[in-house]
Amino acid sequence: MNPLEAQLHYPFGDTIPAPGQLEEIAPGLCWIRMPLPFALDHINLWLLRDEQEGQAGWSVVDCGAATDATRAAWEQVLTDGLQGAPLLRVFATHCHPDHVGLSGWLSSRFDAPFWTTTGEFAFARMMAAALPGVDGPSAIPHFERHGLVDPAMLEQMRSRRNYYPSLVPAVPDAYTRLRDGDLVQVGGASWRVITGFGHSPEHASLYSEQLNVLISGDMVLPRISTNVSVFAVEPEGNPLELYLESLKKFTNLPEDTLVLPSHGKPFRGLHTRIAQLHDHHAARLAEVLEACTEPKSAVDIVPLMFRRQLDAHQLSFALGEALAHLHKLWRDGLLRRTRGDDGVIRFQLA
């Protein structure tokens, strides 16, 4: 446990459910954990007892990626954990593959409506269809503009052209819209939708005042900082500003709220963690600003922010995050941006 984690409280200690197993953390609320084929090797999903039109069953928040291991774990959950009860609704906090990968599979299997925000539904559909602008090849010119010239790494990234569709083979054709401030009744509890931006287009967290529980998705994680990136589809974006503004929406929740994150363990200490995240980004911004006494591209900034060897998957997020910090400083007027004769965009103190 690192020093920042030690400031948080983990009410379930080291308990982690095995794949395919349920861990009840409150009446009618269960935790399941699914494997991921990445360095970040798991995602937490949340099952809620529910009733729709007189039928008893469950609703799930997030789905896991479309891998054989996750499908097998889901089969175990559906057979043993739910004891034959159906899924009545499938909720998605956001459009990333580990969250919506099996949304189509689960929704069609149970004829269960898919609930998410408009922004997340639209982007999931676009990326699953590999539309130009959000497909793998669209990222290559974006990365080249920001200093990536390594032919081997560029080729590795080109080979990931079907990355999203391979993990999200189907998104439901229709959805039920979640909007900021909506109150959604699930079983015996009411959940308020809290939208957030910067990590994804229109991320939906869910807070129940009755249970004092926040399903935070990826907006607030206990151990790692949420990835905030500038992507090819929105090359002039300022996602870090959006993310930091979004965190303010959680500060009016009680400090002792039980936070159920998508990665890591359930914890208490919400306000403490939000302050840590603000401090983290302030420190990164200060480092980046100091580095830009000479013109720097996003590729130049990556080793400053990520002091380890990165594969193509990790580098794509690291480049996006480096650029997010550069863009915030640029938008704040602290950096100026120029494009060199080589076509690379660089940033320097204003």
- CA dihedral over 255, 256, 259, 265, signed as positive or negative: positive
* Model confidence pLDDT, tens digit, residues 167-203: 999 999 999 999 999 999 998 899 999 999 999 999 9
- How far apart CA 256 and CA 98 sit, in angstroms, is 28
Q: What percent of the chain has pLDDT over 70?
A: 100
Span 147-168, average pLDDT: 89
Answer positive or negative: Cα dihedral of 151, 134, 216, 46: negative
Structure tokens at 31: 């935790």
**Banded pLDDT at 119 (limits 50, 70, 90):** very high
DSSP tag of 65: -
At residue 267, the pLDDT reads: 98
Over residues 39-62, the mean pLDDT reads 96
Q: pLDDT, tens digit, for every residue of 14-28?
A: 999 998 999 999 999
Sequential DSSP letters for 302-324: HHHH--S---HHHHHHHHHHHHH
Q: What is the pLDDT of residues 74-112, one digit of tens each?
A: 999 999 988 789 999 999 999 999 999 999 999 999 999
Measured between alpha carbons, how far apart are the two ends of the chain, in Å? 40
Q: What is the mean pLDDT of the chain?
A: 95
pLDDT of 270 reads 98
Looking at residue 279, its amino acid is D
What integer pLDDT is reported at residue 137 of this predicted model? 85
Q: From start to end of 15-113, where are the E strands?
A: 23-26, 29-35, 42-52, 55-61, 87-91
